[in-house]
Amino acid sequence: MFDSRHIRTFHEVVASGSYSAAARVLGYTQPAITQQMKALERAVGTPLFTRVGRKMQLTEAGESLARHAESILGSLSAAEAQLKAYARLRTGRVRLCGFPSANVTLVPEALSGLAMNHPGVQVELLEGEPPESLRRLERGECDITLAFTYPGLHEEIPDEVAEVRLLEDQLTVLLPTGHPLARRRAVNLGDLAEERWIAGCPRCRANLLHECAELGFVPDIRFATDDNLVVQSLVAQGLGVAMMPALVLPSLSLSRVCGRPLQPAARRHIAAYVYRDHLRIPATAVVLDELKRVASNRVGC
């Protein structure tokens, strides 16, 4: 209904008492002020000023608008300042959905760099395994989602979603420290054919079955959990071995377990997914930059 420029001019006319005085303050000509006030009166549908002799007085409608003008301009100024802060990366909120092993490694490192370089950007951290984490992105529940795939598995994503590749994560086997194969620098997957296994999330379990099938055996899966700490505890108690990503190894919390690279070498692909339009949002872009920076330091892990 209102043009903010006209409200600003109206406020100055009221404050200075005349069109000519407002023109001097605002750097306009007096006819320009007159035209703006006529346009504002057309917008509100009623006169805002009357003349009593040589003096200009506010109508009842003008007095009402004058009472609101200051708060209107204050709200506009606050909105302008907030939008500039978003554009300059001083503030913003990003909802990031990560899978468990990323949330204990990649994500904290990225958030640490973000807190140092862009303290006004706030991140709401969510958790989910793929493909459900990708569905959360499609449902609008998060702005960025992290997901992993294995060789031969193609992630189905909408055309409007961009894939930002982060790193290749080597797969390892988690063993009790007293296990005979723990003395080796690397372990052949075929040598574990007679072991009891602890499987992870459905996607990881499917990859375990595929890798073992390629070597001609079916793993004896006794337990299944996507909680990495539970996996470590089960392995530490000698209840089985587990295929784990190297990304998890730095966070091993039990001294009775160890990780060894698998032979033949196998890797999973880790990427961030975001709607293409969101790449232009400064806060989203800077979170992605931090994730890429942290991931680049883990090349070959």
| pLDDT at res. 301 | 44
* pLDDT (0 to 100) of residue 66: 86
Q: What whole-number distance in Å separates Cα of residue 133 and Cα of residue 137?
A: 7
- CA–CA distance, 146 with 270 (Å, rounded to integer): 7
Q: Which two tokens stand for residue 186?
A: 């690397």
- Tell me the pLDDT tens digit for each residue of 164-191: 999 999 999 999 999 999 999 999 999 9
Cβ burial, residue 154 (10 Å; 0-12/13-18/19+):
exposed
Provide the 8-state DSSP code for 156. Answer: -
In this prediction, the residues of the chain whose per-residue pLDDT falls under 50 are 300-301
pLDDT of res. 77: 67
DSSP code, position 61 = H
- Among all chains, which residue has been given the structure tokens 């990881």? 204
- The answer to whether 97 touches 122, Cβ cutoff 8 Å, is no
At residue 222, the pLDDT reads 96
Cα–chain center distance at 208:
30
Angle at 252 between CA 246 and CA 256, to 5 degrees: 115
**Residue 225 pLDDT:** 92
Residue 274 pLDDT: 94
Sign of CA dihedral 148, 153, 158, 164: positive
95: left (phi over 0), alpha (psi -120 to 50) or beta: beta
Contact predicate 164/115, CB 8 Å: no
- DSSP H or E stretch at residue 123: strand 121-127
Structure tokens at 147: 């997901």
Q: In this structure, are residues 189 and 195 in contact, taking their beta carbons and an 8 Å threshold?
A: no
Compute the radius of gyration of the chain from its Cα atoms: 31
pLDDT in tens, 192-243: 999 999 999 899 999 999 999 999 999 999 999 988 889 999 999 999 999 9
How many CB atoms are closer than 10 A to CB 273? 22
